[in-house]
Structure 1
Amino acid sequence: MNLAYPKQNFIDWLTQQWVILRGQKIEPENVPWLIGPFGELGTIGDDFVIQLANTENLIIERNTTSHGLISPFTQLNFSDSQLNQLSEKVIDFYENTANYDLNLIVKWNPFFKFFGVIVNKLFSRRINQLNIPTKNLKQPENITSEIITLTDSKTKKVKYTIWFRTIESTGEVVYSGIYSTCKLPSGKMCVKAVFPLPKGNATVIMSTSVGHNGELILDASGEKFGDPGFYFLLNDSKGNFWSQYIRSFRDQLKVYTDNEKIVAEQTLTLWNRQVLRFNYEIKHTEKKTN
């Protein structure tokens, strides 16, 4: 029987064992579109940035304004007509993400709110990752947004782009994720976000499209392994790689302009029921590099 790494928090071990039992063993070289950095034991936050840089001999640049989440935006392979439909402001946000601040409003489905509280207490606060507010926010909460790049010391090329977001009032890490693009086995180009966890990660792969009103739609939903959607990955006690595709959990993000403002709506669903909704206001602000 394959076992999760033993010398760690029991809750983490139990969760990983569930992935091993319900998921599938993978070979990294066969699924390059899925593989991303794993976290070490203990807290995640921005600690994994230093760990990853040390492991792969990379140079850390914090608060960089020279790199965006998807830069250049053309790597998503949209047609010229699709690009013309999109707002130039939305494209600029993804190419120059560090020059934008975010406000956040959260609305929970009351049937799932208890689930969010449990996840927060058992995992999020302890590892300082994925600290989603467990109360409905009627007034916007300021979110600090920082772009961190890890550059190869020899080639001087950026290898990882990290979007590090915290709640300004508490300093809690909402998301500490590595963003890139990937090409699925189907040939579809997608946006990929990797959120390191102890001995593994949560990876969200989002298909891209342009809506009827010119909104950018990122959709993490599919039917099977190899589709866009939500994946857990981990290393077991023998160093084997495992992954589980969570078909029932889906995430859709729409980004568009409204009265010259950039806004976004993100909806998370489980078993086709809305779990929570995020509403963002994205404001342009020129920031200085440290």
Structure 2
Amino acid sequence: MSHVLDRWSRSFWRLAGRAVDLEGADSWLEAPVSATATVGDGWIDVEAAERGWTVDRGAPEAGLLSSMTALDGPGFDSARLRPAIRDFYEHTASWDMDVWSSWSPVLWPAGELVARLYARRVEQLALPMRPLDVAHGMDSQVTVVRDGAGEQVAAAWVRTLRSNGRHVFSGSYSTRTLPGADRPSVHATFPLETGNVQVFLRPSVTDDGGLRLVSPTGSFGQDGAYVVVREGRAVAARVPLHETLHVYVDDRGVLRTDHELRLGRLSAVRLHYRLERAS
């Protein structure tokens, strides 16, 4: 039953998407995939081995980005960010997180169906469906992937529920400049069997030194969310899933993140993270 669902899903996206050349004009969509139906974190070593990269596990100061300056460009100056925000992205492994979740009553049934039939089984994009799912917090592991020169090219961020160890997100994080863009975006990839979900988030700095990351509406090739299927000839489709993350320091000096996912114009789920540097 599960394999039938997976094949149907890939067939749907092949019909909904367009052919892409991942080695040519559409190389901005080249990103990790999983070789197996269950994603977990096994894709990290496979991807590194195929590209001749090395995997640096367990580094206590590992970050999603080696430096926030990688995002600098017209309209974004990382020097304006609050120091705690820079520290979180550059030393993510050193931070603990508590999480709260709230689903839209309208979209909760659809989310629960997807979680039961797909997300929990493949151990990917398994959003918490109930507030108590994350009552004990969330653990995270950051694995840095380096090229032959030792430079960080990506970071794998795997998040699991502390209560039962179940995978929630398993993604690759880096920066990437989209075609025609004047500066880089944050690029998050969530591998799936012979494909992936990719989100390009445009960064901006708020007046109080906070960070906003947005995947807006737009056309193919712009910031937003994409599904890529690499079964036979590669195809990609832009999907109406939009994210907004607001990372900020509150009036008590606590680092927090408000995270909203919308399906079209409908708010689907809101997540709130309280972030604290481990002692």
- Using structure 2 for the length normalisation, give the TM-score: 0.92
Q: Does 1:72 align with 2:64?
A: no
Change (3 A) 1:55 1:255: same
How much does 1:140 deviate?
4.4
Change (3 A) 1:235 1:82: closer
Is the contact made by 2:61 and 2:92 (CA closer than 8 Å) also made in structure 1?
no
| Aligned twin of 2:259 | 266
| Aligned twin of 2:199 | 204
Letter in 2 for 1:173: H
Q: What residue ranges of structure 1 are gaps of 5+ in the alignment?
A: 1-7
Change (3 A) 1:48 1:200: same
Is the contact made by 1:38 and 1:234 (CA closer than 8 Å) also made in structure 2?
no
Letter in 1 for 2:213: L
Q: Matches of 2:74 and 2:249 in 1, distance apart?
A: 20
| Aligned twin of 2:159 | 165
Is the contact made by 1:69 and 1:179 (CA closer than 8 Å) also made in structure 2?
yes
Change (3 A) 1:27 1:65: same
| Aligned twin of 2:131 | 136
Change (3 A) 1:209 1:121: same
Equivalences for 1:40-189 in 2 at 5 Å?
A: 40-78=35-73, 82-137=77-132, 140-152=135-147, 154-187=148-181, 188-189=183-184
Output one character per residue of 1:228-274: Cα deviation in whole Å (capped at 9) or x when no partner.
111000112xx31110001x211100000011110000001112111
| Aligned twin of 2:241 | 249
| Aligned twin of 1:283 | 276
What secondary structure, in the 3-state scheme, does the structure 2 residue paired with 1:74 have? helix
Q: Does 1:195 align with 2:187?
A: no
Q: Matches of 2:54 and 2:153 in 1, distance apart?
A: 10
- Percent pairwise identity: 28
Letter in 1 for 2:269: L
How much does 1:142 deviate?
1.1
How much does 1:135 deviate?
1.1
What secondary structure, in the 3-state scheme, does the structure 2 residue paired with 1:115 have? helix
Output one character per residue of 1:187-232: Cα deviation in whole Å (capped at 9) or x when no partner.
2310000000011000011001112333200001122111111100
Q: Matches of 1:178 and 1:38 in 2, distance apart?
A: 10
Is the contact made by 2:128 and 2:134 (CA closer than 8 Å) also made in structure 1?
no
| Aligned twin of 1:3 | none
Q: Matches of 1:231 and 1:197 in 2, distance apart?
A: 13
Output one character per residue of 1:49-107: Cα deviation in whole Å (capped at 9) or x when no partner.
23223333433222223431122111111579944542111011111111101110000
What secondary structure, in the 3-state scheme, does the structure 2 residue paired with 1:161 have? strand
How much does 1:33 deviate?
2.2
Is the contact made by 2:65 and 2:154 (CA closer than 8 Å) also made in structure 1?
no
| Aligned twin of 2:222 | 227
